[in-house]
Amino acid sequence: MPSKGKVYLIGAGPGDIGLMTVKGLRCLKKAQAVVYDFHLNAQILNYIDHDAEFIYAGKRGGHHAMTQDEINRAIVEKAKEGKIVCRLKGGDPFVFGRGGEEAEALVAEGIAFEVVPGVSSSIAAPAYAGIPLTHRNYSSSFAVITGNEDITKPESTIDWSKLSSGFDTLVFLMGIKNISAITSKLIEHGKNPQTPAAVVRWGTRPDQKTVVSTIKDIAELISEENIKPPAVMVIGDVVKLRETLNWYEKKPLFGHRILITREYSSDYEPLEDLGAEIFEFPTIKTVPPEDYAELDAAIAKIETYNWIIFTSANGFKYFIKRFVKSGRDIRDMKGVKICAIGSKTAELINSYALKVDLIPDEFNAEGLITAFSQQSTAVDSLKGMKFLLPRAETARKIFPQKARELGAEIDVPTAYRTVKPEKHGKRLIRFLKEGRISIATFTSAATFNNFTDMLGQDVVEFLKHSAIAVIGPVTAKAVEKSGLKVSIMPETATINAMVEKIIAWASQDKSAS
């Protein structure tokens, strides 16, 4: 019989993935089973080992995938199987998250658990709307109240008279459906009808929408604006500060949810810094070659090459790893010059104490030929030069062909290959259908072709709601072949350049609107 596992009750925060705690992420990375809710950023699931078991326990539009008793049983059963279980909940597990009930169920079964607090939407949503819950000039106290209790029932636990007069700021969670009754009760028990009120829907997300009124009129306004759950209501004089402190909704890329179809890297951070949300859905995964014979043969005669060309950071990483494993010494590369395609690749190579001798101005076959021709003293351009080009299994063959035509010798062993990962795209398809992906990015023809293979050809129609950004003309050709229009393409085929182009495009689009 397996020993009992352990359960982590983790708060995933209100939606902005940056508000997930470091400890929460650390626990997720070692999870063997994950029981997760609907109201959390799906990108958090990318931090989980994909061999883990995923159990969806959320609810949307009042529809429960699992009852609370079923959730309790699930986390108990998985722990009894000896697994590390993460119960992943939106916001904070102990702030109207029923985490206390789940913890009691674990205690009753003698199962070890820890609580990892999360940032509650009761605090985060107002903050992202520019509304501090306390302020020396406006509020010295606040209360957080559930808004989904039937306030007409005789045994209500809410003391409306004390609530109306006892706190400077009131925050109601899950109260949109009951908002008329809530505001009426407050006014009935002495709250000034002109007290400022705000409702923040999808707080901390690109979809965030904030409406401001008074408690007398807020119910009518949210009906006119068609504000639906999830939303947080804030009542009190602190709401007056929104006009001055509204920061998030003024960010240049606020409102943009940007799809990236490769693994996230720091190259995309400028988009997030400017207010965009990244939806990561990698359609390619880099893995070692099936056979190292060609690469090993090249490494064995490394000193015979004039140049090694690294066209990507992946090409270098897989090469150097195999180089070391083969028992070679970095000093064996003395006298061999190095060419790097792009500054990011060059930075990585330099970090290994290797000097990059050449970074071509143009990152294509023609640019490489021009750059090496300028390096050559031979009358016949590249005659007599010997190149090593460790690359992806399915890389383009234009440069090797042209180099040979100009008299060079070139070996092109496979250093790595790309495969199509196993991903579930249900939520992504829904976001595309609903027009909630404003920009979709593709960094190679493979990322686009795999995308349509993984999600089906119908996804091409859904992509028409989004602006398409590509890294270069080859990728653009693959996208346009499907009937889609490319709106964003940089002059230089790098992710950094594409990101800069997206920022410029979004700024123009915002000013035009």
Active site residue ranges: 37, 59, 174
CA dist list (Å): 232 to 60, 173, 185, 293, 462? 16, 5, 18, 60, 31
User: CA triplet 102, 106, 112: central angle to 5 degrees?
Assistant: 125
Residue labelled with tokens 């993935």:
17
Contact call for residues 465 and 452 (beta carbons, < 8 A) = no
Comparing CA positions, the residue from 21, 37, 232 lying closest to residue 144 is 232
The whole-angstrom separation of Cα 384 and Cα 409 is 7
The whole-angstrom separation of Cα 196 and Cα 68 is 36
- Decide the pairing of beta strands 257-260 and 285-287: unpaired
- The full DSSP string for 69-81 is HHHHHHHHHHHHT
Q: Helices 343-350 and 495-512 meet at what angle, rounded to 10?
A: 140
Residue 245 burial (10 A CB sphere; 0-12, 13-18, 19+): middle
CA dist list (Å): 456 to 20, 278, 449? 32, 22, 10
